[in-house]
Amino acid sequence: MLPLPSAAARPFATIAARSLGRSFSTTPGMAAADVTRLGVAGAGQMGLGIALVAAQKAQVPVTLVDSSQASIERGLKFADKLLEKDVSKDRITKDEATTIRERLSPTTRMEDLSSVDFVIEAVPEVPSLKTSIFAQLARVCPPHAILATNTSSISITKIAASTTPKDNPTDLSAASRVISTHFMNPVPVQKGVEIISGLQTSESTVATALALVKKMGKIPSQSADSPGFLANRMLMPYINEAIVCLDTGVGGKEDIDNIMKNGTNVPMGPLQLADFIGLDTCLAIMEVLHQELGDSKYRPAVLLRRMVDAGWLGKKSGKGFYDY
């Protein structure tokens, strides 16, 4: 019979067992690796925010990749606007703003990520798009580079599997470097970042991800690879139920938002928050929760689907529950 751990050691043994249950990577644990150049795939609101915070707070050069030159130009204009605002409020000097801006290197070529130490994918919540990008990243990025996703709901294990050779599923050389660094919107303002490991993720990958987000001035929280992770597992059903209340006449949009703002001291109500997140993003996450967990309580509100069908996506489209 194997000896049982002492009473003092049992909590640590339990933690170790849980950790092993979530990861099957054989890569040995080690200290966090240095990140001297970051890559960001996707120049939308999230990708640009991540790139800008990394350039400003972590002071690392960033290669910003997007297949659309127009998206890159919009993103860089937004970056300039944010930096100008910081200068006007005396948060940074003009020289510092120039230095930060010079750290951003835009490109439409995925091959330009060949020299990064860490790359963060920030494209829309479309599973096939993300797995396609990660298959490319595994080929293009250096063999030591951490491959991170900003997904808010899609399985990290599934994304990591897209980097594994089909003829050799035990080859975890790329999959062990896949992790989620789920930043919150807007990235320059929100401090929280979820760190989610897949079954394949190595300890060294986790250590490097934690170190990088801390260097970016963020506060990480670790989550298991479960649908919605922590934040959206709690947040999206709350938003979805607010939409159901609106659709079924329980209350008007202002009443729904005001009771939550004035009754629970949150900065904005659920409907306004949904507009800021993007109603298409809310719908995509609710669909993942519903499909993966199979519980009817996660079924997307009918009104949410209709608004997305109408193209009323919230702040980014100019119309959602409110007009912008």
User: Whole-angstrom distance between the N-terminal and C-terminal Cα of the chain?
Assistant: 68
Of all residues in the chain, the percent with pLDDT exceeding 90 is: 86
User: 21 pLDDT exceeds 60?
Assistant: no
Q: Is 144 a catalytic residue?
A: no
**Choice between 222 and 23, residue whose per-residue pLDDT is larger:** 222
Task: State yes or no: is 185 an active-site residue.
Answer: no
Burial class (CB in 10 A: 0-12, 13-18, 19+), 135: middle
Q: Which of 23, 150, 152, 176 is catalytic?
A: 152
Given the residues 155, 194, 202, 204, select the one marked as catalytic: 194
Mean pLDDT in residue range 76-86 = 96
Tell me the pTM. Answer: 0.84
Task: Look over the chain and give the mean of its residue pLDDT values, rounded to a whole number.
Answer: 91
Average pLDDT over residues 77-85: 96
DSSP character string of 243-299: HHHHHTTSS-HHHHHHHHHHHH--SS-HHHHHHHH-HHHHHHHHHHHHHHH--GGGP
Chain segment 262-300, per-residue pLDDT in tens: 999 999 999 999 999 999 999 999 999 999 999 999 999
pLDDT tens-digit series, residues 201-242: 999 999 999 999 999 999 999 999 999 999 999 999 999 999
Q: 4: which 2 tokens?
A: 């049982």
Q: Is 182 a catalytic residue?
A: yes
Confidence (pLDDT) at 169: 85
Q: Which residue has the higher pLDDT, 6 or 50?
A: 50
How many CB atoms neighbour CB 113 within 10 A? Answer: 23
- Give yes or no: 6 in active site: no
**pLDDT > 70: what percent of the chain?**
91
Q: How confident is the model at residue 111 (pLDDT cuts 50, 70, 90)?
A: very high
The one catalytic residue among 182, 197, 202, 204: 182
